[in-house]
C-alpha cells in the first residue's frame, strides 16, 4: 500500500465524465492548466504583471486597429476607391469598402503613406479592416471590453480587499494560489462558486429570487455604458451620462430589494428594507453633491466635465485645474459625495444591508453559488462606478497631475502618443485614480465599525443633507458673484492654489505614512509577515 491510498467504508464514486460542450470546456480548462500551471509556478509575479501589461497592450492595439479602419474609410491618406452602394441586410449598415478595394488600396503606394504594404500583409489586413469598419464590430468589441473589465475588477478588488484586510489585521491574506501573493485566489474562488449547488429555498418566490441578482448585475454593467475612461474611451457618450449612471445605481437597488424579499427569510427582508431606506435617503445628498461640480463645469456630459479640467478656463493647468480645488465648496463636496457614495454602494460603515454579525448576510443569506457571486460582481462594479464618478467630477478625470500643456510638446507619432497616454492623460490614469479611491473604500471598511441604522439615517437627514444644501447654495453664490467679478477673480484663483496645495499635502502625507509603515513594518506584523512582504 502506498502512502496515499486508504480504504473508505462507502463505495468509491466514479469520476464524472463530461461530454459535448461541457466536455470541450473541461478539456480546454485541463489543457490550460497543463500548459500554464508549470509556467505560473515557475514565474508567478512575472505572470501577473505580464498579464496586466498584455491586457493594456491588447486594448491599445484594438484602439489602433479601429483608428486605422476609420482612416481607411474616411481619409484620403489611404487611396481607396470608394463605391457608394447598397446596404447590408439586417445590420443596417452601408458597406463602404469591399475586401478587394481594401486589398488594392493597402497594397498601392501613395504619396501620403509612402510604399504600399506587401500584398500578403495587405490581403490579411484587408479582412481585419473590413470587419473593423462596421460600427457593430466596434460595439461588439466595446461590449466585450466592458464585460471583461467588469469581470476583472471585482475579481482583483476582492483579492486586494482580502490582502488589505489581512495587513490591517496583522495577517498575510491569501498567499498561496497562483504563487505571487495569491494573485489567482479569486479565480479559484470563482471556479468553486460555479461548481456549487444552486439552492433555492422552498418558501422562496422563485421567479423573483432568480430575477434579483440579474437586475443588480445588469444595471451595474449598464452604468459602464455611459462611464468614460478617456476622451474617446466611452461606449456611448451620452449628454445625460451622469443622470443615466445615477439611474442605473438606483435600479441596482431594486435587484437587492427583490432578492431580500423573495428569499422569504426575515434576515433577508431586514437587509432589503435597510437597503431601500438607506438608498432612498442617501441618493439625495449624493445627487446634490454632484450638482456642485456640474454647476462649475456647465454640462452634464461626463466627457465634457473631465475634458474641461485638463486646462481649466485656460489659466490653471494640471493638478490645480481639478474641480476639487476649484473653490472651497467643491473641495468639501468631494468629501460629502464620497461619504454618500459609500452608503450608496453599501460599503462599511454603511454596510447594514448585509451586516454579517446581525443579519447573517442580509439580503443574500439564501443565495449560493453563481447567483451569490453576481451580487458581488454588482457591488464591486458599482464601487468602481462611484469612484470613477468622483474621479471624473472632482479629481480631473483621465488627466495626470502634470500640466496638460506638456502633452503638446510631445511628437505626434506612436511613441509620442504612448508617452502622452502614460504621462499626461489617458485611461490608465483614470483607472489608477479610481483604483486609489477603491483602495480608500477598502481601507475605510476595515478601519471603521459599522454604525446603527438610526445613526445611518441621522447622519443622512440631519448632517449630510443640510451640509450639502449649504454647500450647494454657497457654491451658487460663489459661481455667480466671485467667479464672474474681476475684483475677486484673483482671490478665487489664489484660493484654488491654496486648496490644491492642501490636497497635495494630503496625498503626500498619505504616501509618507505609507513609506513610514513600510520602513517600520516589523512593528506591525511578526517575522512571518516580513519574510513574505515584497522586497524583503
The piece of 21-29, 103-111, 186-194, 241-249 that touches other proteins (CB under 8 A) is 241-249
Does position 87 interact with other proteins (CB under 8 A)? The reply is yes
Residue 158 vs 249, nearer CB to other proteins: 249
What's the closest the beta carbon of residue 246 comes to other proteins, in angstroms? 6
What's the closest the beta carbon of residue 382 comes to other proteins, in angstroms? 13
What's the closest the beta carbon of residue 92 comes to other proteins, in angstroms? 5
Question: Residue 461, exposed/middle/buried by CB under 10 A (0-12, 13-18, 19+)?
Answer: middle
- Residue 128 to residues 65, 87, 121, 139, 414, Cα–Cα distance (Å): 9, 20, 11, 15, 20
Find the binder of other proteins among 251, 402, 423, 474 (CB under 8 A): 251
Does position 240 interact with other proteins (CB under 8 A)? The reply is yes
Q: Which helix (H) or strand (E) holds 27?
A: helix 20-42
- The gap from C-alpha 31 to its chain's centroid, in whole angstroms, comes to 31
Residue 38 vs 203, nearer CB to other proteins: 203
302 touches 227 (CB < 8 A) = yes
Residue 74 vs 136, nearer CB to other proteins: 136
- Residue 476 to residues 85, 163, 272, 352, 469, Cα–Cα distance (Å): 54, 43, 37, 34, 11
238 touches 303 (CB < 8 A) = no
Does position 343 interact with other proteins (CB under 8 A)? The reply is no
Grid coordinates of 499: 486648496
Find the binder of other proteins among 72, 107, 258, 333 (CB under 8 A): 258
Find the binder of other proteins among 82, 266, 531, 532 (CB under 8 A): 266
> Could you give the string, one character per residue 294-333, with x where binding to other proteins holds by CB under 8 A and - elsewhere?
------x---------------------------------
The piece of 124-132, 238-246, 305-313, 413-421 that touches other proteins (CB under 8 A) is 238-246
Q: Name the CA radius of gyration of the chain, rounded.
A: 27
Q: What size, in residues, is the chain?
A: 536
- DSSP string covering 89-124: TTT--B----HHHHHHHHHS-BTTTBSPPPHHHHHH
What's the closest the beta carbon of residue 88 comes to other proteins, in angstroms? 9
Owner of C-alpha cell 444595471: 219
Q: Measure the CA–CA gap between 21 and 1, rounded to whole angstroms.
A: 38
Find the binder of other proteins among 63, 131, 165, 254 (CB under 8 A): 254
> Could you give the string, one character per residue 174-203, with x where binding to other proteins holds by CB under 8 A and - elsewhere?
---------------------------xxx
Grid coordinates of 364: 443574500
Find the binder of other proteins among 78, 156, 261, 322 (CB under 8 A): 261
Q: Measure the CA–CA gap between 345 and 378, rounded to whole angstroms.
A: 9
Owner of C-alpha cell 476622451: 231
Does position 264 interact with other proteins (CB under 8 A)? The reply is yes
3-class state of residue 456 by DSSP: helix
What residues does 114 pair with on adjacent strands?
A: 110
Does position 248 interact with other proteins (CB under 8 A)? The reply is yes
Binding site for other proteins (CB under 8 A): 87, 89-94, 201-203, 205, 207-208, 211, 215, 238-240, 243-244, 246-251, 253-254, 257-258, 261-262, 264-266, 268-270, 272-273, 276-277, 279-280, 283, 300
Amino acid at each position: 500500500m502506498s502512502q496515499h491510498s486508504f480504504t473508505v467504508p462507502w463505495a468509491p464514486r466514479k469520476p464524472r465524465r463530461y461530454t459535448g460542450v461541457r466536455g470541450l470546456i473541461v478539456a480546454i480548462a485541463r489543457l490550460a492548466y497543463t500548459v500554464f500551471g508549470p509556467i505560473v509556478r515557475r514565474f508567478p509575479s512575472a505572470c501577473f504583471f505580464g498579464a496586466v501589461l498584455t491586457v493594456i497592450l491588447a486594448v491599445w492595439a484594438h484602439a489602433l486597429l479601429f483608428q486605422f479602419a476609420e482612416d481607411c474609410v474616411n481619409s484620403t491618406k489611404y487611396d481607396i476607391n470608394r463605391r457608394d452602394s447598397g446596404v447590408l441586410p439586417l445590420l443596417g449598415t452601408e458597406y463602404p469598402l469591399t475586401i478587394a478595394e481594401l486589398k488594392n488600396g493597402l497594397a498601392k503606394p501613395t504619396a501620403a503613406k509612402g510604399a504600399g504594404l506587401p500584398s500578403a500583409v495587405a490581403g490579411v489586413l484587408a479582412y481585419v479592416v473590413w470587419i473593423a469598419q462596421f460600427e457593430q464590430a466596434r460595439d461588439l468589441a466595446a461590449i466585450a471590453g466592458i464585460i471583461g473589465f467588469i469581470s476583472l475588477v471585482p475579481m482583483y478588488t476582492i483579492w486586494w480587499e482580502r490582502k488589505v484586510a489581512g495587513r490591517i489585521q496583522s495577517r498575510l491574506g491569501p498567499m498561496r494560489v497562483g504563487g505571487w501573493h495569491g494573485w489567482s485566489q479569486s479565480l479559484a474562488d470563482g471556479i468553486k462558486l460555479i461548481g456549487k449547488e444552486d439552492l433555492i429555498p422552498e418558501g422562496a418566490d422563485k421567479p423573483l429570487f432568480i430575477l434579483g441578482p440579474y437586475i443588480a448585475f445588469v444595471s451595474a454593467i449598464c452604468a459602464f455604458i455611459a462611464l468614460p475612461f478617456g476622451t474617446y474611451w466611452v461606449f456611448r457618450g451620452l449628454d445625460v451620462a451622469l443622470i443615466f449612471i445615477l439611474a442605473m445605481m438606483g435600479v441596482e437597488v431594486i435587484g437587492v430589494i427583490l432578492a431580500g424579499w423573495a428569499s422569504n427569510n426575515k434576515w433577508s427582508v431586514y437587509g432589503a428594507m435597510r437597503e431601500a431606506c438607506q438608498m432612498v435617503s442617501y441618493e439625495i445628498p449624493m445627487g446634490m453633491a454632484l450638482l456642485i461640480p456640474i454647476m462649475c463645469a456647465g454640462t452634464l456630459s461626463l466627457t465634457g466635465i473631465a475634458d474641461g479640467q485638463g486646462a481649466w478656463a485656460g489659466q490653471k493647468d494640471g493638478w490645480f485645474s481639478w474641480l476639487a480645488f476649484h473653490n472651497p465648496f467643491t473641495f468639501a463636496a468631494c468629501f460629502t459625495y464620497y461619504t454618500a457614495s459609500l452608503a450608496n454602494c453599501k460599503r462599511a460603515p454603511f454596510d447594514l444591508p448585509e451586516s454579517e454579525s446581525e443579519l447573517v448576510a442580509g439580503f443574500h443569506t439564501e443565495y449560493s453559488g453563481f447567483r451569490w457571486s453576481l451580487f458581488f460582481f454588482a457591488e464591486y462594479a458599482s464601487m468602481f462606478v462611484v469612484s470613477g464618478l468622483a474621479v471624473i467630477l472632482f479629481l480631473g478625470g483621465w488627466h495626470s497631475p502634470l500640466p496638460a500643456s506638456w502633452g503638446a510638446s510631445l511628437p505626434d507619432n506612436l511613441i509620442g502618443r504612448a508617452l502622452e497616454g502614460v504621462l499626461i492623460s489617458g485611461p490608465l490614469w483614470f483607472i489608477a485614480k479610481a483604483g486609489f479611491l477603491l483602495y480608500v473604500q477598502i481601507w475605510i471598511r476595515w478601519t471603521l465599525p459599522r454604525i446603527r441604522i438610526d445613526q445611518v439615517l441621522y447622519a443622512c437627514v440631519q448632517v449630510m443633507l443640510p451640509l450639502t444644501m449649504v454647500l450647494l447654495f454657497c457654491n451658487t453664490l460663489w459661481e455667480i458673484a466671485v467667479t464672474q467679478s474681476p475684483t475677486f477673480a484673483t482671490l478665487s484663483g489664489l484660493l484654488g492654489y491654496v486648496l490644491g496645495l492642501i490636497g497635495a499635502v494630503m496625498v503626500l502625507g498619505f504616501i509618507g505614512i505609507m513609506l513610514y509603515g513600510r520602513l517600520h513594518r516589523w512593528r506591525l506584523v511578526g517575522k512571518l509577515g516580513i519574510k513574505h512582504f515584497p522586497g524583503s
